[in-house]
Structure 1
Amino acid sequence: MAEYLAKFDGNNTIMQLSKEKIYALISDHLPQFERVGSLESLRGGNLNYVWRLRGKNKNLIIKHAPPYIASNPDIPLNNNRIDFEARALELFESAETLSEISSAQVRPPERLLYEPNQSLLVMEDIGSVPAIDSWLSSAAETTQIGSLLGHFIGQLHKKTFNDSGLRKQFNNKPIQETRNQVQYQPAADYASEIISIQNTNFEARTKALGEKLLDPGKCLVMGDLWPASILIKNGNLRLIDWEFVHYGRPLQDAGHFVAHCWMQAHTASSSSETNKWKQLWLSFWRKYQHTTGEVFEELFNQEEHDFMTTHIAAEVLVRAAGPFKDGYIYKAFPPSHPKIEEAVNNAIQISERTIASIWDFLPGQV
C-alpha cells in the first residue's frame, strides 16, 4: 500500500490520507475496536483502495475512494460514489427503508463508520469467504443460491419501484456518465478492433442505451452485480461494493448478472461448469419474476427487454476487448485468440436476440 493516497475534495484540492489518519479516525469513532495489526491491502475490486484491519475481537474492512478507478488511474471517476454506497448500506439498517429485505441469508455488510470528508467507509469484515465464481467450481448445484439472489434483487426492485424520494436521493449520475463514456459509447469500437466490421445498428443501440441510462429510472438498483460482489458463506450471501447504486433501470442488475454468468460459462473448462452458470442464471430469473409479481411487466416492458440484451453485449465487449479485460476471465487471451473473436461476435448477435436465447451461443448445452 502506498504510504499516502491522493484524493480531491469538493474544490478539486489534493489532500492526503495516511495510514496514521485512518487509525486515528477509527480510534476516535470506534473506541471499542482494539487494533492488533496494520492495514492489509485486499484485492478483488477495481474501483477503490480496500484494506482489512485486524482487531482483538473483530476485524474491519476499510474502503477509500480516489477520484479515479484505483486499478486504472487513467480513468477518472467521481469519488462521491462512496457516499452513495454509504447511504445505500444505511437503508438496510434496523427500521430503515430496506431493513425488511435484509436477512441472515442475504444482506450487504453492516456500515460501521462513514467519513465523507475523507471518502472513507468502514464496514464489518465478512471474512475470507469465496466469491460466487470460486464457490461454484466445487458446488454440486446452484439453484438454491440463484433463487436466494433472485429473491433479494426482486425485493429490492419491487419495494423501491416508483419511489420518488429514493429517485431524488440516489440520482447517481456521475457513475452513469462514466459508464456511458467507457462502456456504451465505445462498445462498437471495441468490437471493430477485433472483427474489423463496423456494425452501425449495434453502435446506435449501445449509444442510445448509454444516453437512456443517464436519466433516473424505475427502481433502486445495486448496479454492480458481478461475481466479485457476491460472497457466499455457509449457504448465505453477502453483497458487497454498492458504489454503483442508483435509481435506475432493472436491466443493470439482471442484465449485468446474466452477462457475467454467460462470460463465465463461455470460458468454463467443462460443459458441467458451463451448465452450472446457466442454471444459476435461470434460477435467479425465475425467482426474480415470481418475487416482483404484479410489477414485473412494468419493470420489464418491451423496451427493458430490448435494452437488456444490448447491455449484456456491451458488458461482454468491455470485459473481452475493452479496458476492463485485465483482471478478469479473458485476460489470458490475446486479441487474436479465437475465444475473443467468438465473444465479440456472440455479443453483437446477443444484442439482437431475446434474453432466453443468449444461451444458444454456448456449445454443449443440455
Structure 2
Amino acid sequence: MGIVTDSDITSYLATLNIIPTTLSQLNGGTANLAWRIRDSTNRSIIIKHAEPYIRTNASILLPTDRMDFEHVALTTLTLPPQPHIDIPIALPSVYHYNSTRHVLLMSDGGPRTMKAAYTDPTLDIPALGRGLGTWLASLHASTKTTTSVGDNQTAKSIARYSYANLASALASYGFDASLGEDIDAEYGSLLQSDDACICHGDFWPGNIVLAAASTSRPTATVVDWELVRRGCGATDVGQFAAEAYLLDRFCGSRGLCAAFLDAYALAAEEKGALGREWWGRCGVHLGTHLAFWPTSVVWGGREETGECVGLGRELLLRARGGGRGWRELLVLPIKPAG
C-alpha cells in the first residue's frame, strides 16, 4: 500500500509512536514525496518516501532502491575535519529508515536551498562557494579507495541522460549534432565504469540547504543522496559549476562559479595534482550540462537558451583536448550584493 497523502504518512508515523504537531508536504524535487513535520518535542524532521515512479509523473517508473542508496550514504560517509571551511557543512542525521516501505526520517537542514537563497544580499555567496568546493574535494579525496555504497545503476543511468540527449539539444539550436554523438560515445560511456571516488551524483545549489536565513554564514547541509555512486569527481564538480554559472548568469553575477572552482582546485591539488585529463573531463561534463539542461529547464528566453547551448558547445570543443583552458569562457563580471 502506497504512502502518498498526508493521511498516509500520518498513519505510518503512528506506527513509530510519532504524532506530528504540524505537517506540510514539500513540493520541491521530482522523484520523491517529502514532508516536514514537528514532533512532540518541537523537533523539525524531514520525511522522504519513494514510490516506484517519480512524484511528478506516475507513468515514469523509477526503482525504489534509490532510497536504500541514500540511507547507505548518510549512515556510511564520514569526512575528516575541515578547519579551513568558514561555513559549517553537514549531512542530515538519520532518525529512522524502513527499507521495505522506503521511508526515511532525518534532520531538517533548514528552510531554503542555496539556489533559492542566491539573491539574498545578506549571504556571502563566494564564501559558500569556497566552502562547498573545499568540502567536495575532501569528500572525493577521502573516498578514493575504501568506501563503497553499492552499485547504483539508477544513478549511472540518470547521469547519462544529458549525454544521450546532447546531440538533439545542439541540433535544436542549429549546431552540429555529431559533436553530441561523439561526446556521448567518448565520455558518456565512461559513467558506467568510473570508479575513482564517491560522487554525490546530483551536486548542485538546489541540493544545498541553508539553516539560517538571517546570517551571512549559515550552516549548509548537503541533501538528496539517492544518486550517490562511485564515479569520477569531475562530474560532481562540472555539474555544480554549470548550475553555479547559470545562477551567476541569470540571477545576479555574484561569483559563485569561480569561487567554487578555485576552492576545489586548491584543496584537491594540495592532495595531488588533478592533471590535464581530469580537468578535461570536468570541462566536458560542464559543457554537456550547459548545452543540454537549459533546453529543458527554463532560465531565459530562446535567445538566452541558445547562448547557453553555444557556450556549452565551446566548452566541449576546448575541454576534449584536456587541461583547463576552458575556464576563461566562464568569466562573468561580479556585481556587488545589494
TM-score by length of 1: 0.78
Deviation of 1:156 (Å): 0.7
Deviation of 1:358 (Å): 4.3
Q: Tell me how large the CA RMSD over aligned residues is.
A: 2.7
Equivalent position to 2:52, from 63, 67, 71: 67
The code of the aligned residue for 2:266 comes to H
CA-to-aligned-CA distance 1:313-338 (integer Å, 9 cap, x gap): 2222332113xx2xxx42x63xxx21
CA-to-aligned-CA distance 1:12-71 (integer Å, 9 cap, x gap): xxx423545533443343x4x441134x22122222111112323112211112333323
**Which residue of 1 is the match for residue 142 of structure 2?**
159
**Which residue of 2 is the match for residue 146 of structure 1?**
129
Deviation of 1:301 (Å): 3.3
Deviation of 1:114 (Å): 0.8
2:70 equivalent to 1:89? no
**Which residue of 2 is the match for residue 26 of structure 1?**
13
Q: Which moved more, 1:212-221 or 1:122-131?
A: 122-131
Q: Distance in 2 between matches of 1:154 and 1:148?
A: 10
Q: Distance in 2 between matches of 1:356 and 1:131?
A: 28
The code of the aligned residue for 1:26 comes to L
Q: Is the 8 A contact 1:61 1:124 kept in 2?
A: yes
Q: Is the 8 A contact 1:91 1:99 kept in 2?
A: no
Q: Secondary structure at the match of 1:157?
A: helix
Q: Secondary structure at the match of 2:220?
A: strand
**Which residue of 2 is the match for residue 16 of structure 1?**
2
Q: Secondary structure at the match of 1:353?
A: helix
CA-to-aligned-CA distance 1:58-86 (integer Å, 9 cap, x gap): 12211112333323445432221111111
**Which residue of 2 is the match for residue 284 of structure 1?**
260
Q: Distance in 1 between matches of 2:54 and 2:170?
A: 23
**Which residue of 2 is the match for residue 98 of structure 1?**
79
Q: Is the 8 A contact 1:262 1:359 kept in 2?
A: no
Between the two proteins, what is the percent identity of the paired residues?
Answer: 22
Equivalent position to 1:177, from 127, 148, 157: 157
Q: Which moved more, 1:252-261 or 1:129-138?
A: 129-138
**What does 1:1-366 correspond to in 2, within 5 Å?**
15-17=1-3, 19-29=6-16, 31=17, 33-38=18-23, 40-56=24-40, 57-92=42-77, 97-98=78-79, 100=81, 105-139=88-122, 141-163=124-146, 166-167=147-148, 169-180=149-160, 182-195=161-174, 197-232=175-210, 233=212, 234=215, 235=217, 236-268=219-251, 273-274=252-253, 276=254, 279-297=255-273, 300-322=274-296, 325=297, 329-330=298-299, 333=301, 337-354=302-319, 355=324, 357-360=326-329, 364=333
CA-to-aligned-CA distance 1:129-187 (integer Å, 9 cap, x gap): 34244244424643321221122111111111122xx24x332122211332x321121
Q: Is the 8 A contact 2:22 2:38 kept in 1?
A: yes
Residues 150, 36 of structure 1: alpha-carbon distance in 2 compared, 3 angstrom cutoff: same
Residues 356, 64 of structure 1: alpha-carbon distance in 2 compared, 3 angstrom cutoff: farther
Q: Secondary structure at the match of 2:30?
A: coil
Q: Is the 8 A contact 1:171 1:216 kept in 2?
A: no
Deviation of 1:308 (Å): 1.6
The code of the aligned residue for 1:290 comes to L
Residues 259, 79 of structure 1: alpha-carbon distance in 2 compared, 3 angstrom cutoff: same
**Structure 2: unaligned runs, 5 residues or longer:** none
Q: Is the 8 A contact 2:54 2:61 kept in 1?
A: yes
**Which residue of 2 is the match for residue 9 of structure 1?**
none
CA-to-aligned-CA distance 1:279-338 (integer Å, 9 cap, x gap): 3233223332333345443xx33332222222112222332113xx2xxx42x63xxx21
Deviation of 1:249 (Å): 0.7
Residues 296, 305 of structure 1: alpha-carbon distance in 2 compared, 3 angstrom cutoff: same
Q: Distance in 2 between matches of 1:117 and 1:99?
A: 32
Aligned residues: 322
Q: Is the 8 A contact 1:91 1:98 kept in 2?
A: no
**Structure 1: unaligned runs, 5 residues or longer:** 1-14
CA-to-aligned-CA distance 1:179-238 (integer Å, 9 cap, x gap): 32x32112111221222x333234211332221011142111111111211122342211
Q: Is the 8 A contact 1:190 1:321 kept in 2?
A: yes
Q: Is the 8 A contact 1:206 1:310 kept in 2?
A: no
Q: Secondary structure at the match of 1:113?
A: strand
Q: Distance in 2 between matches of 1:107 and 1:216?
A: 26
Q: Distance in 2 between matches of 1:344 and 1:293?
A: 30
Q: Distance in 2 between matches of 1:140 and 1:25?
A: 38
Deviation of 1:256 (Å): 0.7
**Which residue of 2 is the match for residue 11 of structure 1?**
none
Residues 16, 185 of structure 1: alpha-carbon distance in 2 compared, 3 angstrom cutoff: same
Residues 358, 84 of structure 1: alpha-carbon distance in 2 compared, 3 angstrom cutoff: same
